[in-house]
Amino acid sequence: MLQAIALQLIYRALSMWIGSDNWHSVIDAVKYIATDKVLTGEQKRQWVVSHAETYALALSGALLNLAIEAAYQWLKSKAPASQ
């Protein structure tokens, strides 16, 4: 429970820090590419970085990497538990 609250606070802070539109663009890109079974994790990350550059998201490399990882973890936490 505490972990879920902490993650929610981190996601809200990121959304405010990088801007809601940028945050949702990163989430959408991560959600889209996460289903690819061929690309490696690094290739997927690079695809999201390229996507962000295409849409002119004004984020530094470190901040973009943080947003990508946070978006991935957020989507992972929302996925139904495997049985």
Q: What is the largest CA-CA distance in the chain?
A: 40
Task: Check the CA dihedral 33-39-41-46 and report its sign.
Answer: negative
Q: What is the CA radius of gyration of the chain?
A: 13
Model's pTM, two decimal places?
A: 0.64
Q: What's the half-sphere exposure (Cβ side, CA atoms, 13 Å) at 16? A: 5
pLDDT in tens, the chain (83 residues): 677 777 778 878 877 777 777 788 888 888 998 889 999 988 998 898 888 777 656 666 777 778 888 888 878 887 776 54
